[in-house]
Chain A
Amino acid sequence: MELIVSLGIGALAGCGVWLLLRPRTFQVIIGLSLLSYAVNLFIFIMGWVRGGIAPVVKPGAVDPSVFADPLPQSLVLTAIVISFATTALLLVVLLAARGLTGTDHVDGREPGE
């Protein structure tokens, strides 16, 4: 389980970094999205990878080892909302840049110009 999750995070982060360094704005946005998925999963596994355990503490039960840590889950939720909002903003800026410069290159002009 650990191996699968860490390989998945590695693949997502690797693709994200590659796309982030590409010259087209759309590639950069997709790269940022992939990176933020990788980071969200990373936060998630900081509460340890264990299947089938709820983060809800039942009344009376006090052994914390049989419950998942709820805090990383709420952190991930916050991080998802924030990255969602900023990605939306970045999309608007991308479209504005495309409209104003006439190209989707991140520098606002084609390399040969």
Chain B
Amino acid sequence: MSEGLRHLVVVPVVLPLACGAIMLLIDERRHAAKSAMGLASIALIACAALALIANANVTSMYALGDWRPPFGIVLVADRLALMMVLLSAVIAFAAVRFSIARWQRAGPRFHSLVQFLLAGLNGAFLTGDLFNLFVFFELLLAASYGLALHGSGRVRVRESLHYIVINLTASLFFLVGVSLLYGVTGTLNMADMAQRIPGVPGADRVLVEVGAAILAIAFLVKAGMWPLGFWLPSTYAASSAPAAALFSILSKVGIYAVLRLWLLLFDAGTGATLLLAGGIATIAYGTSAMLASQELARTAGASLLISSGTLLAAMGTGIPEAIGPALYYLAVSTLGAAAFFLLVELVERVRQPGANLLAVSAEVFAGPAPDADGEDSTEAKMPAMAAILAVAFLGCALLVAGLPPMPAFIGKFALFTALLAPAAVPVAGWILLALITVSGLASIMAMARAGMRIFWGSRLRSQRIRLVEIAPVAGLMAVSLGLTVAAGPVMSYMQQAEREVHSPRGYVEKVLSRP
């Protein structure tokens, strides 16, 4: 690999960090300059990730300060990490683009916080050092606290308080897990640790497993696995639209960390049953939350829970072939959730305040809705905007529920194929298959019900919605459609990533080899 390209690995971490710091010095009122800087930085990150992906020999190791591992801290860019970097850049681009219309003015330092969040995310994806992973987690969490509070207000501050307390507690679990693993293995470098764990004597083996389990608690809180994820829908529903869209990738960091560390440090059998059971419970909880929620934003949060549950359960089946489709599903479901969170805010803006409650009480008491006389209907008032929003909503519904032509369908289909393979887990595989199907059905029911209430059942207010706000939603959907069209190459990339993750020897050798 050429000398210049070698340094590209560090760009996704350093660039947003520098960019966010410079933005702090710029006057708060110069939103145009800040948003342009932010978008440029995100575009450059995406370009760096694409250049690294396009490079034939993808896995590359970067020793920070040229301190060789296992003593120095390393960044490792393999297919899985680069895919996550690219995905978060796409979502951040859409969120920042969306915020230009109004949200960037709702509170101070929005663009800096987005950049710091990106630095933390990319660092967490790329790092090859366990304690560095903790530091990057804290960086992205600190930025996410700021973003959750963005726009302020009673509900947001209350939910952020819960969010901060839960994540601080999870961070303490993280620290306990890291220090246990360090105490037994004597290293923090992930590749070095993977090499040393098989040689750990029997009595200490328990400590390693306890440490890994405590670490997993910290990750699964972020992923929103069933008994740990009750905070997720309400926090995401309370935060502002661009922040919520960014948070949809945040819950995938937990999944990424579990996948990376679990398969690197242990064989796929350890703890798989727990992941499978937790994933299945999460899908069930997400499905019922989806059907029960009366607020659109909570529906979007529930769809994130379903996607987390599907991914965890797919990992928990222990079928190596399930990881590739799961990664494909991870990408598309995250894009779908981000688009949905952005769209929810636009839809809520054109709704009558309180229309939600009216619709509910009308259903409960089976009486006519108070505004049933139908004078000056939606069509007469603002046909174009209502139509655009309705079409976008339909697209989002298909995307979230995983129906063709949207790509989640392909991900689920490939996942089913892996589950139905002869060697697959018999009973749990069938339960999972049924639950994923039911969750898709529940999603389409919940979305159809919400869509009918909003676009057919109630009068819409004429609110100005600018093209700049619809464009990111449309852009995210176009990217999703692109993933359907290019499903072949993308899926083969994911399967290569799956093979890399499943044979960690290549990763270990790459990190520990002397140049």
Contacts and interface: CB of A to CB of B under 8 A. Distances in A.
B266 interface: no
A68 interface: no
Interface residues of B, number: 29
Interface in A1-56: 20, 25, 28, 32, 35-36, 39-40, 42-43, 46-47
B160 interface: yes
B142 A86 contact: yes
A108 interface: yes
B182 A71 contact: yes
Contacts of A71: 182, 188
A85 B138 CA distance: 10
B154 A108 contact: yes
A65 to B, nearest CB: 13
A39 B172 contact: yes
The interface residues of chain B, by DSSP majority, are classed as helix
A20 B168 CA distance: 11
B356 interface: no
Contact of A72 (B141, B154, B182): B182
A75 B158 contact: no
A53 B158 CA distance: 47
A97 B138 contact: no
Interface string A76-92: 00110011011101100
B124 to A, nearest CB: 14
- For chain A, give the interface size range: 20 to 34
A94 B161 contact: yes
Interface stretch (B31-39, B43-51, B173-181, B344-352): B173-181
B162 A106 contact: yes
A107 interface: yes
Contact of A97 (B135, B161, B179): B161
B232 to A, nearest CB: 17
Contacts of B171: 82-83, 86
A39 B180 CA distance: 11
Contacts of A87: 168
Nearest to A86: B168
Given A75-B131, A93-B160, A42 B165 contact: no
A57 B30 CA distance: 52
Interface string B183-222: 1000010000000000000000000000000000000000
B131 A28 contact: no
B87 interface: no
Contacts of A96: 149, 152, 157
8 contacts: A35-B169, A75-B131, A82-B138, A90-B165, A93-B160, A97-B161, A100-B154, A108-B158
Interface of A: 20, 25, 28, 32, 35-36, 39-40, 42-43, 46-47, 71-72, 75, 78-79, 82-83, 85-87, 89-90, 93-94, 96-97, 100-101, 106-108
